[in-house]
Amino acid sequence: MKTRITEMLGIQHPIVQGGMHYVGLAPLAAAVSNAGGLGIITALTLGTPEKLDAEIKKCRQMTDKPIGVNLTFLPTVNSPDYPGLVRVIIENGVKAVETAGNNPVQVMPFFKQAGVKVIHKCTSVRHALKAEAIGCDAVSVDGFECGGHPGEDDVPNMILLPRAADELKIPFIASGGMADGRSLVAAMAMGAEGMNMGTRFICTKEAPVHENVKAAIVAASELDTRLVMRPLRNTERVLRNGAVDRLIAKEKELGSKIKFEDIIQEVAGVYPKVMQTGDMDAGAWSCGMVAGLIHDVPTVKELIDRIMAEAEAIVRKRLEGFLAA
């Protein structure tokens, strides 16, 4: 498929692997890029410019295809070395960055000057329009179904994607609920020029996470995610487990009086325990409703080839067959 996104990023298929904490590392990013999509390394998982530099170089040894880096801007007391991370991205010749979190306006001049394409993750049309206004090359439009942070508007992709198409001039990719060829064709029918997959890529052979994580997602249905931290206006969609049940109980008990400190045990330092050691009840970790559509753990190439074959069959056979002669 040829879209504005494939042309912009220099990739074969309109499929992007989203940045994911302790998942978006060189093995997965390289596998996605080698299979014709855009693989993405998650900068804040590495933490320092030196470690990000090493991971990008490792990824380059595994693929000669385009790769990207996710750079999430968080409102933290101990802020990461963002200038250093930006410098490493540019020095390594990375040509695509997925930004998320706070407005990336401060880093835009550096990326623009270096010819880096910036795709900003947005959960609303108003944020997408702001990203377009500050010069982002594309946006990733995240519906309410998505794992991680869906924003506070609760608009699912069936509405959000066509609304984005009505308003935006820059291309956008669909994120949230994306898993297969049906997802891709539906997203493109609603105006997207590709799709971003997170949870689906965790369930691949190359994803560098504990097998318990993959098994938990495969076993889950679309009913097994929960929204947490909503009282703090930092809503996150996570897979239900014992820690999540405790967190929700605290939210109900404390109501509007709840503070981040009250739930820190369930949300801080969770990802290394879950993703690396397989402790599935260590805390709350992001997972999309799309878990209900995930039933296997293929290689990345098998997954992407299958998605593209499904999408072509839907377009050429099923949809075309509905047209009156």
pLDDT in tens, 61-82: 999 999 999 999 987 767 899 9
In whole angstroms, what is the distance from residue 159 CA to residue 148 CA?
A: 19
In whole angstroms, what is the distance from residue 102 CA to residue 71 CA?
A: 10
In whole angstroms, what is the distance from residue 255 CA to residue 259 CA?
A: 10
Say if pTM beats, i.e. exceeds, 0.75. Answer: yes
Q: Is the pLDDT of residue 325 over 80?
A: no
What is residue 77's predicted lDDT score, i.e. its pLDDT? 64
Instruction: Quickly count: other Cβ atoms within 10 Å of residue 279's Cβ.
Output: 17
Instruction: Quickly count: other Cβ atoms within 10 Å of residue 218's Cβ.
Output: 13
In whole angstroms, what is the distance from residue 163 CA to residue 58 CA?
A: 40
Share of residues in the chain with pLDDT > 90 (%): 98
pLDDT in tens, 84-130: 999 999 999 999 999 999 999 999 999 999 999 999 999 999 999 99
pLDDT in tens, 11-62: 999 999 999 999 999 999 999 999 999 999 999 999 999 999 999 999 999 9
In whole angstroms, what is the distance from residue 38 CA to residue 128 CA?
A: 21
Q: Tell me if the domain spanning 4-208 has CATH number 3.40.50.720.
A: no
In whole angstroms, what is the distance from residue 125 CA to residue 263 CA?
A: 31
Per the listing, tokens 């809503």 go with 235
Q: Is the pLDDT of residue 152 over 90?
A: yes
What is the pLDDT averaged over residues 247-253? 96
pLDDT in tens, 155-189: 999 999 999 999 999 999 999 999 999 999 999 99
What is residue 324's predicted lDDT score, i.e. its pLDDT? 76
Query: Where are the chain's structural domains?
Result: 4-208
What is residue 76's predicted lDDT score, i.e. its pLDDT? 72
What is the pLDDT averaged over residues 275-283? 97
Q: Is the pLDDT of residue 221 over 70?
A: yes
